[in-house]
Structures are given as structure tokens and as C-alpha cells.
Amino acid sequence: MKIQDNFNLSGKVCIVTGAASGIGRAIAIRLAQSGASVTVADVTTDVIEGGEPTASMLEKAGFDVQFRHTDVGSTADVETLISDVVDRSGRLDILVNNACVRHARPLLEMDEAQWHHILNINLSGAFRCCKASVRQMIRQSAIDDVRGRIINLSSQHGIISAPGDIAYGTSKAAVAYLTRQIASDYAAQGIVCNAIAPGKIQTGAGGRAADPAVLDRAISRTPWPRLGRPMDVANAVLFMCSSSSTFITGAELMVDGGWMAA
């Protein structure tokens, strides 16, 4: 077997949440290019950075990609997503929990409804998708010892504080914990579960993400001489989806240009 065959995902059935835009879109593109059947699960098809919707763009290019309208904040939506994918494809090999919302406020300015909303999407959304997916994965046959893989998007801002952004950072810290817990509880049943923690990735999103002060801070914190690109993260996801990474589980891989090393 050639080493690049490890990165051939032909026959693999994948779901990427929040794949309409940004990092999720790049992940869907990279997994489709690697041969996987990909379901884009999002509340919208609108592309924040512009361009044709992820699923229709990839379908037109000949890839096996479909869109399922899914709010990860809804248990019913998540259950329907997983059962639709399994009805269509017979199994679910890879779940990427990427969907997120942001509402940057420090403690004293964070109202409780917004706190619950951020945690409901970023943390409980990942919990719901993991629960419905692992329930399916442990029932299906193992391929090369693996019944299913989960990759959760955490953040360097769940490890160190996210300035003025208490709910987002808390949600990301908890996602990293969720990852370790699932990895250890379900390793014996062939579930591989890892997190990827991006540093500053430029996605085309406006608002705080493009605030010059936020960008200046990110540039000054990032040793590598550029900020991250969505494909930097997507390539790390591909590695975590590949048979090259099976003995890596419960890990949190930084994709941050050295931010956390400096």
C-alpha cells in the first residue's frame, strides 16, 4: 500500500457540521476531494465569505456531497440528520463537529440567555452529534479496527483565555474535555475521538474576526509569518480521518502557527 492510500477516504461516509462557510467549508472540500461521501449539515447554505454553496459547488464538480438543513441546537434535527445519512449510506464513518456561534462579551456583560445559547450550540451541539453518532458507530462493523471517528473543533481560546469572550472560550474548553471523555469511554468499541484546536484562521468573516486590533494581536502572538487558512485546519482534519492516526485518540492537535508554543 502506498502511504498516500492512507489519505484516500473512498467509501467513507462523513458529516461536517457548520460546513456552509469558513473552516467547515474547507473541511467538506478536502474530505470530498479525498473521496469521501460528505453531508454538509448547517442552518444555512449562505457562504459568509461569498461563493456558491458548499454542497452544490462540490456536487457540480462531481463529488458525492449533499446538504442537510440541521440546527445542532435541536436534538430532533441531529437525530434526523444521523438517521438520514445512515438510511442513505448504510453507515457513518466520520463526524466533524465544527458548527459554532460567537457573542464576545466579558463576564459582567454576558446575559444568561446568550450564555446558554453559545453553550447550547458550541458544546451541547457537539454532545448531541457525538451521542447520536456513537450510538450508530458502535453498531457497525469495524474497518481496520475502527468503527468510527470523531473530530471536534476546539480552539486555543479554550486553553488560554479568549479576551472578553467568556462563553466561547468556556465552550471550547469543554469541547476538549468532551473529546477526552468520549475517547477513553469508547476506545474499546473502536471509536477514535480527537480535537483540533485552531489558532487564528482567516475565514473571510467580518465583525470581531476582522477587527484590526484582534488581527494585530493574533499576528503578534503567531510565530509563523502568516495567520492560518481554512485549508490548514482541513488538512489536519484529513490526517485525523486517516488510518495514519488510529493510535492517536483523546488528543488536541494545535493548528496555530506556534501560538501556543510561544
Ligand X SMILES: NC(=O)c1ccc[n+]([C@@H]2O[C@H](COP(=O)([O-])OP(=O)(O)OC[C@H]3O[C@@H](n4cnc5c(N)ncnc54)[C@H](O)[C@@H]3O)[C@@H](O)[C@H]2O)c1
Site residues (vs ligand X, CB under 6 A): 17-18, 20-24, 42-44, 48, 70-73, 98-101, 121, 153, 155, 198, 200-201, 203, 205
Edge to edge, the sheet with strand 191-198 lists 65-69, 37-42, 13-17, 94-97, 148-153, 191-198, 252-255
Query: CA-to-CA distance for 260 and 186, rounded, in angstroms?
Result: 29
CB of 115 to ligand X, least distance (A): 16
Amino acid code (one letter) for 257: G
Query: CA-to-CA distance for 250 and 66, rounded, in angstroms?
Result: 29
Nearer to ligand X, 191 or 201 (CB): 201
CB of 256 to ligand X, least distance (A): 8
Nearer to ligand X, 71 or 252 (CB): 71
CB of 141 to ligand X, least distance (A): 29
Nearer to ligand X, 20 or 193 (CB): 20
**Contacting residues for 1 by C-beta, under 8 A, at least 6 apart:** none
Start-to-end CA distance of the chain, whole Å, equals 38
For the annotated catalytic residues, the residue numbers are 168
Nearer to ligand X, 70 or 249 (CB): 70
The residue among 33, 38, 73 whose CA lies nearest residue 55 is 38
Query: CA-to-CA distance for 111 and 105, rounded, in angstroms?
Result: 9
Residue nearest to ligand X (CB): 22
Compute the chain's Rg from CA coordinates. 17
CB of 35 to ligand X, least distance (A): 23
Nearer to ligand X, 149 or 200 (CB): 200
CB of 36 to ligand X, least distance (A): 19
Amino acid code (one letter) for 180: R
